[in-house]
Structure 1
Amino acid sequence: MLISMQQDIKQQKQDMLEMKEDIKSTIINNLSEKFNNLELKNELLEKKIKEQSKKLKNLERQCRRKNLILFGVEETEKSYNELEKMVINTHIKISYDTYNIEAVRRLGIKGKKVRPIVITFNTLGFKLNIPKKQT
């Protein structure tokens, strides 16, 4: 009887070791599967980020194409409206609709040097219609 109990205990130990190994392998397989899934998701997200970065650069380039920069214009204006009227009346010299101009602003920080003026038009076509000699 004692021998049979020892054999039962031995068998139970063996069974427990096998179960332990099975549990370990199951956990490792599950973790590796989850890790592989996360790697795939990460690759997809990186690809999306690259695509969106390219799209953003293209959009920024398209927006900048509608800009016209004027250099050497003295800073006598005191408000945005004065700056807009001065630029339109003295530098563009073509008929315009206020809806054609999106923004007029100075670049940089006010200091000793004259800052350039950036005019942003609503359409590239309107910008291209302005003769270069007038600007």
Structure 2
Amino acid sequence: MEEIMKALKNIQKELNAQKIEIQKSGEKVTEQVILNISNKLEEKFTVLEEKHQILKEKTEQQEKRIQIMEKQARQRNIIFFGIEEGEASYHNLENNILQFINEIFSLQMDCRDIQEIKRVGKKGERPRPIIVTFCTLGSKINILKQKRSLKDTQYHLSEDYPKYILEKRKELQAEANKEREKGNKVTIKYDKLVILKSNNKRTLEASPESVPNTQPQTGTSTTRASKKNKIKQSNPSISRSNSVTEGVIKPSILSYLVNNNINTPRNQINDTTDNLNS
């Protein structure tokens, strides 16, 4: 009986050991499966991240192109505010805006200077603003230069900015007010804040080519002199003089002199020799 009990205990121990081994092997298998799944997921995520980055760069480029195109489309626009709204047709609106520009700004414009006119917004008690697209940028600049003529009037004008630029300009306005409190001159140009400090002055720096080189450079003078000597030796200069005896008379000149002497009459030759002898 005792032997049977010992055999049963041994069998129980072996079963427990096998159970532990099975558990350990199961844990190893699950760890390996999890590791493989995580590796595959990481690979897929890296591919997706690369694609996302490429799409992000493309969208950023497209946004920049759209912003450039929108800026160019609004480049020749001016928005007029406060002009009475009573026109019945496009031609009436065109005539009203031309009359307004010519009277207020003392300009001579006609329908050929304007590409498009339109009112924006919903009708209400106040007159809607008018967006005018000029045919040339110069016409717009001429009007902006005389913007002060609208001072102390119900009318005013502004440039046509996209919505995101208007929001950015509002943010920059707060910074501009802070800089003005410090005593600095501030202007907002499109979407940038330009600060002109009162103490600083703009100076033009001279380019390196225009600044004379006062310091002697080692080795340059000797090399330049040697180069000049080589040039002189390779191309020796021939001394030139006005007298015929100092230089070498070419055969063509001799033949020319001989022909002249032959063609001249003897009386003239004798006269010249007499004059020389006298």
Is the TM-score greater than 0.5?
Answer: yes
- Aligned counterparts, 1:45-124, within 5 A: 45-88=55-98, 90-93=99-102, 94-96=108-110, 98=112, 100-124=113-137
State the secondary structure of the residue aligned to 1:111: coil
Could you list the per-position Cα deviations for residues 86-113 of structure 1 after superposition, in whole angstroms to 9, with x for gaps in the alignment? 211x122223453x42211112111111
**Conservation of the 8 A alpha-carbon contact between 2:76 and 2:136:** yes
Residue in 1 that maps onto 2:54: 44
Residue in 1 that maps onto 2:18: none
User: CA 1:28 to 1:72, structure 2 compared with 1: closer, same or farther past 3 Å?
Assistant: closer
Could you list the per-position Cα deviations for residues 12-46 of structure 1 after superposition, in whole angstroms to 9, with x for gaps in the alignment? xxxxxxxxx8xx95x87666544422321110111
CA RMSD, 1 decimal: 3.1
Give the aligned residue type for 2:128. Answer: R
Give the structure with higher Rg (CA).
2
Normalization by structure 2: what TM-score? 0.34
Could you list the per-position Cα deviations for residues 36-72 of structure 1 after superposition, in whole angstroms to 9, with x for gaps in the alignment? 2232111011112122212322332333332112222
Structure 2 CA distance for aligned equivalents of residues 58 and 37 of structure 1: 32
Q: Which has the higher contact order (CA 8 A, sep 6+)?
A: 1
Structure 1 gap ranges (5+): 1-20
Structure 2 CA distance for aligned equivalents of residues 122 and 56 of structure 1: 22
Structure 2 CA distance for aligned equivalents of residues 70 and 29 of structure 1: 63
115-124 vs 104-113, greater mean Cα deviation: 115-124
If each structure's helix is expressed as a fraction of its own residues, which one has the higher value? 1
Aligned length in residues? 114
Normalization by structure 1: what TM-score? 0.64
